[in-house]
Chain A
Amino acid sequence: MNDRLDKGLSGFIRKIREAWDLQPLLVPLGAILLSFIVGGVLIAMIGVNPFEAYWALLRGMFGSWDRVAGSIARSVPFMGSALALAFAFRAGLFNIGAEGQLLVGGITAAWVGTLTFMYHTPSVIAIPIILIAGAVGGYVWGWIPGVLRARTGAHEVITTIMLNSIALFGVRWLVNSRDPQILRDLTASVPRTKAISPTAVLPTIVDSQPNLHMGLFVMIAVCIVVAFVLRRTTFGFETITVGTNPNAALYAGINVNRIIILAMALSGAFAGIAAASEVSGTNQFFQPGTFAFIGFDGIAIALLARANPIAIIPASLLWGSLLAGAPLMQLEAGVSIDVVRIIQSMVLLFVAADAIVRYVFHIRGEAGHQMESVATEEAES
Chain B
Amino acid sequence: MTVVDGPVPVLDVRGVTKTFPGVIANEDIDLTLNQGEIHCLLGENGAGKSTLVNVIFGLYKPDKGTVKVRGEEVKFAGVGEAIEHGIGMVHQHFQLIPVFTVAENVILGDELTNGPFLSMNEARRRIRELEEQYGLIVDPDAKVGDLSVGEQQRVELVKALFREADILILDEPTAVLTPGEVDDFFAVVRSLVDQGKSIIFITHKLREVLAVADRITVLRNGRIAGTADPATATQQSLANLMVGRDVVFQVDKGEAHPGEVALRVEDLSVEDERSVMTVNGFSAEVRAGEIFGIAGVEGNGQRELVEAITGMRRKAGGTVEILGHNATKLTPRKIAELGTAHIPEDRNKHGLVGSYSVADNMVLNKYSQAPFARRWVRNTSAVHDEAEELVEQFDIRTPSVDVPIDTLSGGNQQKVIVARELTGDVDLLIVAQPTRGLDVGSIEYIHQQIIDRRDRGAAVLLVSAELDEILSLSDRIGVLYRGRLVGVFDGADATREELGYLMATGSTPDTEEVAS
A residues near B (Cβ < 8 Å) are 232-237, 241, 244-245, 247-248, 250-255, 367-369, 372, 375-381
The complex places the Cα of A250 from the Cα of B365 at a distance, in Å, of: 10
Q: How many A-B residue pairs have CB under 8 A?
A: 100
The complex places the Cα of A377 from the Cα of B94 at a distance, in Å, of: 11
Complex contact A234–B367 (CB within 8 A): yes
Chain B residue nearest to A372 (CB atoms) is B60
Complex contact A379–B333 (CB within 8 A): no
Q: Total interface residues on B, using CB and 8 Å?
A: 47
Complex contact B50–A381 (CB within 8 A): yes
Instruction: Map CB proximity to A onto B356-389 as digits: 1 under 8 Å, 0 otherwise.
Output: 1000100011011000010011101000000000
Chain A residues, CB < 8 A from B356: 241, 244
Complex contact A251–B350 (CB within 8 A): yes
User: Quick one: given A237-B367, A244-B355, are A253 and B350 in contact (CB under 8 Å)?
Assistant: no
Instruction: Map CB proximity to A onto B314-357 as digits: 1 under 8 Å, 0 otherwise.
Output: 00000000000000000111001000001010001111111110
Complex contact B353–A244 (CB within 8 A): yes
The complex places the Cα of A232 from the Cα of B374 at a distance, in Å, of: 11
Chain B residues, CB < 8 A from A237: 360, 367-368, 378
For the complex with contacts A244-B353, A369-B20, A379-B54, 5 further pairs of A-B residues with Cβ separation under 8 Å are: A233-B376, A253-B333, A255-B331, A381-B50, A381-B91
B59 within 8 A of A: yes
The complex places the Cα of A381 from the Cα of B347 at a distance, in Å, of: 12
Complex contact A380–B93 (CB within 8 A): yes
Could you give 25 example pairs across A and B, Cβ below 8 Å?
Answer: A232-B378, A233-B378, A234-B378, A237-B360, A237-B367, A237-B378, A244-B354, A245-B352, A248-B364, A251-B344, A251-B351, A252-B332, A252-B364, A253-B336, A368-B21, A369-B21, A372-B59, A372-B60, A375-B54, A375-B60, A378-B91, A378-B95, A380-B406, A381-B410, A381-B437
Complex contact A234–B373 (CB within 8 A): yes
**For chain B residues 64-102, which have a beta carbon within 8 Å of chain A?**
79, 91-93, 95
Chain B residue nearest to A231 (CB atoms) is B378
Q: In this complex, which of A233, A251, A375, A380 has the most chain B Cβ atoms within 10 angstroms of its Cβ?
A: A251
The complex places the Cα of A241 from the Cα of B365 at a distance, in Å, of: 11
The complex places the Cα of A255 from the Cα of B312 at a distance, in Å, of: 11
The complex places the Cα of A60 from the Cα of B356 at a distance, in Å, of: 44
Complex contact B378–A250 (CB within 8 A): no
Complex contact B312–A375 (CB within 8 A): no
Complex contact B350–A378 (CB within 8 A): no
User: Quick one: given A253-B333, A253-B365, A381-B93, are A241 and B353 in contact (CB under 8 Å)?
Assistant: yes
What is the minimal beta-carbon distance from B94 to any residue of chain A, in angstroms?
10
Complex contact B378–A248 (CB within 8 A): no
What is the minimal beta-carbon distance from B43 to any residue of chain A, in angstroms?
12
Chain B residue nearest to A14 (CB atoms) is B402
The complex places the Cα of A235 from the Cα of B50 at a distance, in Å, of: 37
Chain B residues, CB < 8 A from A234: 367-368, 373, 376-378
Chain A residue nearest to B364 (CB atoms) is A252
User: Quick one: given A232-B377, A237-B378, A381-B50, are A376 and B350 in contact (CB under 8 Å)?
Assistant: no
B27 within 8 A of A: no
Complex contact B409–A235 (CB within 8 A): no
Chain B residues, CB < 8 A from A252: 332, 364-365, 367
The complex places the Cα of A375 from the Cα of B79 at a distance, in Å, of: 9
Chain A residues, CB < 8 A from B310: 251
What is the minimal beta-carbon distance from A274 to any residue of chain B, in angstroms?
24
Complex contact B364–A250 (CB within 8 A): no
The complex places the Cα of A255 from the Cα of B331 at a distance, in Å, of: 8
Complex contact A250–B367 (CB within 8 A): no
Complex contact A253–B332 (CB within 8 A): yes
The complex places the Cα of A248 from the Cα of B352 at a distance, in Å, of: 6
B407 within 8 A of A: yes
Chain A residue nearest to B407 (CB atoms) is A376
The complex places the Cα of A381 from the Cα of B352 at a distance, in Å, of: 15
The complex places the Cα of A369 from the Cα of B54 at a distance, in Å, of: 15
What is the minimal beta-carbon distance from B87 to any residue of chain A, in angstroms?
14
The complex places the Cα of A376 from the Cα of B380 at a distance, in Å, of: 27
What is the minimal beta-carbon distance from A335 to any residue of chain B, in angstroms?
42
B151 within 8 A of A: no
What is the minimal beta-carbon distance from B284 to any residue of chain A, in angstroms?
22
